[in-house]
């Protein structure tokens, strides 16, 4: 186990692409006159951590690179299918010690919640630790984040051989293939895993659009957002029938 520096370099890396199979171009679809990606990045900024965008080398993603430039966010480009290599490229290029992994189809991620998770991770001072709100799911899909070390990512990058491992970045880590990973789960006091705030389909997008345009959800805390959904079952019903795409 390698020790962290006294002031570890932490970065949030968001993966994005324009060629989504179920809703192509979703991350730049307009909500309230702004691209969906704008809300994603604005929410993440509240964590107070450096942000990086990991996109593909496809020409379709040139628009994402341009948007990242307008937002003054560093952008790395790599393989469409080997997303793990994009993360490793970003970590090496920006010399990160601790990585927060998020996906760009989650416009209502809570930067404050992520910040608390990172503070807890640093406090633990354990480079073999994987911390997330994903494995024991009590938060809605769409508020997902994972925190892990450069050490763990390096092992995954160098040892993962399955295509699914390369595409989904962290299976080698969270399936504990090395046998030496320690886990810590961030959970919500009440199970809200039945809510769906990620955007994979047109129905998902419609829910997020209504939440932002009519209820200013992009300005709400996680508690306020979950209370809003609990008070409006008709909103939850907009995408309750959507099944999560299998990893």
pLDDT tens figures, 151-168: 999 999 999 999 999 999
Largest CA distance in the chain: 50
Say how far apart CA 227 and CA 225 lie, in whole Å: 5
Tell me yes or no: is domain 10-194 CATH 3.30.70.1350. Answer: no
Report the predicted TM-score, pTM, of the whole model to 2 decimal places: 0.96
- Among 133, 123, 145, smallest CA distance to 191 is for 133
For 91, what's the count of Cα atoms within 13 Å in the CB-facing half-sphere?
Answer: 22
β-pair type (34-35, 30-31): antiparallel
Domain segments of the chain: what residues? 10-194
Specify the pLDDT at position 91: 98
Distance of CA 102 to the CA centre of its chain: 1
What average pLDDT does range 82-88 have in this prediction? 98
DSSP state of 161: -
DSSP state of 176: T
């Amino acid at each position: 186990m390698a020790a962290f520096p006294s002031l570890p370099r932490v970065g949030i890396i968001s993966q994005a692409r324009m060629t989504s199979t179920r809703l192509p171009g979703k991350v730049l679809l307009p909500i309230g006159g702004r691209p969906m990606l704008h809300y994603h990045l604005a929410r993440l900024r509240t964590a107070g951590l450096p942000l990086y965008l990991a996109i593909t080398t496809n020409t379709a993603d040139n628009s994402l690179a341009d948007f990242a430039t307008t937002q003054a966010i560093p952008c790395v480009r790599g393989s469409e299918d080997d997303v793990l290599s994009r993360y490793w490229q970003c970590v090496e290029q920006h010399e990160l010690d601790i990585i927060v992994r998020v996906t760009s189809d989650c416009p209502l991620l809570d930067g404050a919640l992520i910040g608390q998770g990172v503070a807890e991770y640093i406090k633990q001072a354990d480079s073999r630790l994987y911390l997330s709100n994903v494995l024991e799911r009590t938060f809605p899909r769409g508020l997902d984040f994972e925190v892990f070390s450069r050490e763990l990512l390096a092992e995954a990058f160098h040892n993962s051989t399955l295509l699914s491992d390369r595409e989904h970045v962290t299976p080698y880590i969270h399936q504990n293939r090395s046998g030496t990973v320690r886990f810590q789960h961030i959970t919500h006091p009440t199970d809200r895993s039945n809510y769906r705030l990620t955007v994979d389909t047109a129905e998902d997008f419609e829910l997020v659009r209504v939440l932002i345009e009519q209820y200013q959800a992009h300005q709400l805390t996680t508690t306020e957002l979950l209370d809003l959904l609990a008070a409006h079952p008709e909103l939850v019903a907009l995408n309750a029938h959507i099944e999560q795409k299998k990893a």
